[in-house]
């Protein structure tokens, strides 16, 4: 059963994910920020800087939609990486402040955008041309998943089922364009198929487990025969 994602859903999930990230980051001091996140080779400070920079990048797209002025998300991949490095070196209070200010500015920009402007086409960092209505979903995906990656108490089980179903749908669509193992995923009320090599392996689990597996966060779900689920390559 494919998930149906609306613009209102994405706005709601974006607000929820932002709240989860800010709540998790609020209690982090210098030592806690320096600890590893759930992402390989990244500390929590790296991750917080990435989320803050993402809000500013998406604000560029909102500005593009609002004014018609072409404003790329990032000037270059190198500048994007350099911004994260600068951000992760900030004192804990400054980093948390940047995280909050950038999120507030993005929300303010989105709230001010009129219906007609939301239909403006913008270009993502991956080079996709999309209507600005995709920005809330891009942010929702970012903050909800990275709230978990902060490894500060939020898990996929804390995210709404409708978001998890939409996330699984989105990831499956992206993975279907790259080579990988053939997998059939079965949740209690939804199912997806990853086309690929070999006979499809049936993987079952709840939505939190399947979302974690599809996004490369957890290899926890097992195939129907009890063997480990196939290893998936990068998602983004």
User: Residue-wise pLDDT tens for the chain (236 aa)?
Assistant: 345 799 999 999 999 999 999 999 998 999 999 999 999 999 999 999 999 999 999 999 999 999 999 999 998 888 889 989 999 999 999 999 999 999 999 999 999 999 999 999 999 999 999 999 999 999 999 999 999 999 999 999 999 999 999 999 999 999 988 888 999 999 998 999 999 888 899 999 899 999 999 999 876 677 778 888 888 888 87
Output the pLDDT for position 1. Answer: 35
| 76: DSSP letter | -
Q: What would be the CATH architecture of the domain defined by 7-154?
A: Up-down Bundle (1.20)
Say whether 162 sits in a helix, a strand or coil: helix
Polymer length in residues for the chain: 236
Alpha-carbon distance of 198 to 27, in angstroms, equals: 47
Whether 1 contacts 116, CB under 8 Å: no
Q: What dihedral do alpha carbons 46, 178, 136, 216 form, nearest 10°? A: -40
Angle at 67 between CA 63 and CA 70, to 5 degrees: 70
Whether 179 contacts 225, CB under 8 Å: no
Q: State the span(s) of the chain assigned CATH 1.20.120.450.
A: 7-154
């Amino acid at each position: 059963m494919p998930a149906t994602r609306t613009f209102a859903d994405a706005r709601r999930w974006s607000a929820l994910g932002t709240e989860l990230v800010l709540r998790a980051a609020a209690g982090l001091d210098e030592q806690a920020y320096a600890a590893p996140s759930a992402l390989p080779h990244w500390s929590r400070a790296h991750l917080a800087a990435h989320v803050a920079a993402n809000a500013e990048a998406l604000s560029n797209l909102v500005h593009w939609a609002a004014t018609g002025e072409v404003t790329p998300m990032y000037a270059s991949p190198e500048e994007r990486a350099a911004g994260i490095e600068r951000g992760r070196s900030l004192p804990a209070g400054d980093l948390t402040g940047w995280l909050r200010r950038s999120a507030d500015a993005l929300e303010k920009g989105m709230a001010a955008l009129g219906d007609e402007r939301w239909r403006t086409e913008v270009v993502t960092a991956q080079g996709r041309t999309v209507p600005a209505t995709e920005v809330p979903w891009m942010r929702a995906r970012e903050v909800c998943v990275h709230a978990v990656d902060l490894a500060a108490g939020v898990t996929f089980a804390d995210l709404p089922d409708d978001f998890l179903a939409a996330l699984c749908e989105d990831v499956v669509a992206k993975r279907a364009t790259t080579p990988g193992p053939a997998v059939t995923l079965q949740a209690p009320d939804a199912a997806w198929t990853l086309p690929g090599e070999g006979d499809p392996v049936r993987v079952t689990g709840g939505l939190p487990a399947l979302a974690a597996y599809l996004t490369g966060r957890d290899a926890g779900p097992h195939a129907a025969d009890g063997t480990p689920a196939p290893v998936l390559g990068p998602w983004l």
